[in-house]
Structure 1
Amino acid sequence: MNTRISLSLLLTLSCSAVAQGQKIVAPPVFNIFELVIKQDQNNAYDSLAEKNITASVTDEAGTLAMYSAKKKTNPSVAYMFEIYADSDAYQQHLNSTSYKDFLRNSPDILDASQKRKIDAVPQFLADKNIVQSDKTINNFVIVDVKPEFGQAFRHVVLPEMAQSINLEEGVLAMYAVTDKTNPNRWYFYEIYASEEAYQAHRLTPHFKGYIEQTVEMTTYKEAVAIKPGKLMNKGGLMYEIK
């Protein structure tokens, strides 16, 4: 079935669903960018990223979330995580004044030759309205799943993430996507109110169950240590692929 909904109606429905904490049916767009900041341009990048994030999430109905982060071991490596209601909303963002301003200023700040975009397929996206503080932390984890365990892994990890966002006050966002070119590679981006909230999460029965049940299903795990920059969303997103 090929059903097309007008942009204005889709954005209205999507934002209404977000506000009410309802599930979004149309596949959102989830982007992960890895960027390299030029020498002595870290402060300039922080300012430019914050300006773009604030304007985009505030002014664009279909921009649901934008998060900046830097690698702890090498702050010149930055990440941008973005969520849009659908491909039309993403296109609207690309045509926005804030994004064009970002593009205009970025050549002086970013090394364009080292920019990398991960083409991601959303599997589970859920969040609460994030009010960032000095205690807010984020995690970025990469997991490779054995092909024969693809469905079994999905059936364990997605319910675990749903329980985490629903039962734990300190869990602010749980996102899982797969690599479009390698569906056995999973990317997890998570936001917690504090380190204490994260450690409490690790002690929950659902998290321990996930670890125990999937220990033999994976071939590779990497926790990329990152420090949050500007974190901003509309909140209330709930999407799970069918």
Structure 2
Amino acid sequence: MTLLPISCANQKQEVEITKSEKMMVRIAEVEIAPEYLEEYMGILKEESEASVRMEEGVISIFPMYEKDNKRSIRILEIYADKEAYELHINTPHFIKYKTSTVKMVRGLKLIEMKAIDFNTMPEIFSKLGEL
């Protein structure tokens, strides 16, 4: 009788590990030319909002900037999987973002990440609704 709960717990754990292994997480480090800063931020805000609202596989596109250097942008990108990312980069709103900001970007570094505590992630995002 005790084998069933242990088996179910292991199956749930395997599903969660599979989800976290499929998930694509990265931090984009973007440096913006000073003369384009305000224009870039407007375009980025529009693109990130549309991506999260319209794309099921986009979990997060969370842009922010360094407190002491607004030109130093960081974007936390979380996709359900590689397929969701591939769909994302082919959407009209992303293509508009890329083509309209190409002259504004002075540097771009994409850092691939892996979640350490995948199980806590839903709790983190659920707390935003409580604010």
TM normalised by structure 1 equals: 0.42
* CA deviations over 1:167-204 (Å, ceiling 9, x no partner): 00001112111011211100000111111001110000
Corresponding residue of 1:68: none
User: Of 234, 239, 242, which aligns to 2:125?
Assistant: 234
Corresponding residue of 1:173: 60
Q: Which runs of 5+ in 2 are unaligned?
A: 1-15
Task: Classify the secondary structure of the residue corresponding to 1:234.
Answer: helix
CA distance in 1, matches of 2:36, 2:50: 22
Residue identity in the other structure for 1:211: K
CA distance in 2, matches of 1:169, 1:206: 15
**Residue correspondences, number:** 108
Corresponding residue of 2:4: none
2:46 is the alignment partner of 1:159: yes
Q: Which runs of 5+ in 1 are unaligned?
A: 1-130
Conservation of the 8 A alpha-carbon contact between 1:137 and 1:228: no
Alignment of 1:27-38 (within 5 A): none
CA distance in 1, matches of 2:54, 2:128: 16
* CA deviations over 1:32-68 (Å, ceiling 9, x no partner): xxxxxxxxxxxxxxxxxxxxxxxxxxxxxxxxxxxxx
User: Of 80, 88, 93, which aligns to 1:201?
Assistant: 88
TM normalised by structure 2 equals: 0.76
2:30 is the alignment partner of 1:139: no
CA distance in 2, matches of 1:210, 1:152: 11
CA distance in 2, matches of 1:229, 1:208: 31
CA RMSD of aligned residues (A): 1.8
Task: Classify the secondary structure of the residue corresponding to 2:108.
Answer: strand
More helix by share: 2
Corresponding residue of 2:75: 188
Task: Classify the secondary structure of the residue corresponding to 2:83.
Answer: helix
Residue identity in the other structure for 1:208: I
Report the CA distance between 1:236 and its aligned residue: 7.5
Q: Matched residues, percent identical? A: 29
- Structure of higher RCO (CA pairs closer than 8 Å, 6+ residues apart): 2
